[in-house]
């Protein structure tokens, strides 16, 4: 018998040894322990013998002629630890089963400002009530390309972005069509013009534009397609800053409706005609990676919230029904 043991002396200890000891302790029978574990009786006896050889102590009393067995003091001491270890193992197994089903774990989502203000709070509320054990971790950026790069590298499961998607391994679902409005100061002469305004009325109008926003780049490219070179005199990706600058008459701004505070008395939001299509907000993921049930549920929660918001923005039911999954160019 060894009087003292170093930790490395127990390196051969296996979970199956402790599971067998716990079963024998609770059933007080090798036969019943074997039935409980789905082993043969000889297999359980082998596990207990291996455990005794490892710790250098008898852990079970094997009295001839008796149908039940009892633990020695050494066995009882070890069994208390076995109970705790096996309980943790069962908890880990249960947690992993829940995780595999998508009901627990971490869901990483990319967002940008107007989505974070108008869409995300309701989505998170609805999602959390249905998936309380899933932790949603958010990454915010004004640059869609940065968020999609994180999706491509597997650092985000989902990201809000706008369509069309850039080339890459992306797939997305359309959530919302957010119309562009021309935001001007409350005393701007453009307030007296007949609405909806044509984009061509923006010739020579000083504009406040975004710095890195993908939808802003798309918008300026479209204006150039109409033969209008945007006269951008200031850039900011903060919606409040842009609206504040417009309110004091620094310039006008082409903004999606969700990015505008319509209650601000210092500004007016003017309608534009259909020549300027709306911003298409979507939720994107890596098309070649597995999407957990939680990720799919988050997408559906976002679609439901945006369907209601779309009605507030005035889109017809027929247009909303026409939405379909979107994919980026290969």
**Proportion of the chain in helix, strand, coil states, percent, rounded to 5:** 45, 20, 30
pLDDT tens track for 251-283? 999 998 988 999 999 999 999 888 788 989 999
Alpha carbon 141 to its chain centroid, in Å, reads 15
pLDDT tens track for 13-35? 888 898 999 899 888 888 899 99
Percent of the chain's residues with pLDDT above 90: 38
**Encoding tokens for residue 41?**
């009786």
Domains 105-177+279-327 and 180-271 share a fold: yes
pLDDT higher than 80, residue 299 = yes
Q: What CATH code would you report for 180-271?
A: 3.40.190.10
Residue 141 has a pLDDT of 87
CA–CA–CA angle 26, 29, 33 (5° rounding)? 65
175 class by beta-carbon count within 10 Å (0-12 exposed, 13-18 middle, 19+ buried) = buried
Q: Measured between alpha carbons, how far is residue 39 from residues 15, 151, 325 in Å? A: 15, 46, 51
Higher-pLDDT residue of 89, 285: 285
Please report, for the chain, the start and end positions of each structural domain, with discontinuous segments joined by +.
7-100, 105-177+279-327, 180-271
Banded model confidence at residue 98, pLDDT cuts 50, 70, 90: low
* Residue in the block written with tokens 């939808």: 215
Q: What CATH code would you report for 7-100?
A: 1.10.10.10
Residue 229 has a pLDDT of 87
Q: What is the DSSP string of 43-56?
A: HHHHHHHHHHHHHT
Taking all residues of the chain, what is their mean pLDDT, rounded to a whole number?
85
Q: Nearest to residue 71, comparing CAs of 89, 57, 50?
A: 57
Banded model confidence at residue 161, pLDDT cuts 50, 70, 90: very high
Instruction: Note if the bond before 196 is cis, omega within 30 degrees.
Output: yes
Q: Among 38-42, 112-116, 158-162, which stretch is predicted with the lowest mean pLDDT?
A: 112-116
Q: Which residues of 26-39 are buried (b: 16+ CB within 10 A; e: fewer)?
A: ebebbebbbebbeb
Cross-sheet strand order for the sheet of 267-271: 253-256, 180-185, 267-271
Banded model confidence at residue 319, pLDDT cuts 50, 70, 90: very low
pLDDT higher than 80, residue 162 = yes
**Residue 274 DSSP symbol:** T
**Encoding tokens for residue 162?**
């706008």
CATH of 105-177+279-327, one of 1.10.1760.20, 3.40.190.10, 3.40.50.2300, 3.40.50.1820: 3.40.190.10
The pTM of this model reads 0.65
What is the spatial distance between Cα 204 and Cα 66, in angstroms, rounded to a whole number? 102
Residue 280 has a pLDDT of 93
Residue 328 has a pLDDT of 60
213, 178 contact by CB (below 8 A): no
pLDDT tens track for 185-221? 999 999 988 888 888 888 889 999 888 777 788 888 8
**Encoding tokens for residue 96?**
């992993």
Question: What's the whole-number mean pLDDT along residues 288-314?
Answer: 91
Pairing of strands 170-178, 231-235: unpaired
């Amino acid at each position: 018998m060894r009087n003292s043991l170093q930790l490395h002396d127990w390196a051969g200890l296996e979970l199956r040894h402790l599971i067998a000891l716990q079963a024998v302790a609770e059933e007080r029978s090798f036969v019943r322990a074997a039935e409980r574990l789905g082993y043969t009786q000889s297999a359980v006896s082998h596990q207990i013998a291996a455990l005794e050889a490892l710790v250098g102590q008898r852990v079970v009393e094997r009295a001839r002629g008796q149908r039940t067995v009892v633990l020695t003091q050494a066995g009882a001491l070890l069994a208390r630890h076995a109970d705790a270890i096996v309980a943790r193992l069962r908890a880990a197994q249960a947690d992993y089963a829940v995780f595999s089903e998508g009901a627990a774990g971490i869901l990483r989502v990319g967002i940008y400002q107007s989505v974070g203000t108008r869409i995300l709070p309701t989505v998170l509320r609805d999602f959390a009530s249905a998936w309380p054990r899933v932790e949603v971790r958010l990454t915010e950026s004004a640059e869609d390309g940065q968020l999609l790069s994180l999706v491509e590298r597997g650092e985000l499961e989902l990201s809000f972005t706008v369509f069309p998607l850039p080339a890459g391994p992306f797939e997305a679902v359309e959530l919302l069509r957010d119309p562009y409005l021309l935001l001007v100061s409350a005393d701007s002469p453009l307030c007296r013009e007949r609405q909806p305004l044509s984009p061509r009325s923006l010739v020579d109008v000083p504009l406040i534009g975004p710095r890195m926003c993908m939808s802003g780049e798309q918008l300026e490219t479209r204006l150039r397609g109409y033969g209008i070179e945007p006269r951008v005199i200031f850039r900011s990706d903060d919606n409040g800053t842009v609206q504040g600058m417009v309110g004091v008459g620094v310039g006008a701004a082409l903004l999606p409706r969700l990015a505008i505070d319509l209650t601000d008395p210092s500004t007016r939001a003017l309608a534009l005609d259909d020549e300027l299509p709306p911003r298409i907000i979507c939720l994107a993921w890596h098309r070649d990676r597995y999407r957990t049930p939680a990720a799919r549920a988050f997408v559906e929660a976002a679609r439901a919230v945006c369907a209601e918001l779309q009605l507030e923005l005035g889109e017809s039911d027929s247009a909303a029904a026409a939405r379909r999954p979107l994919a980026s160019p290969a």
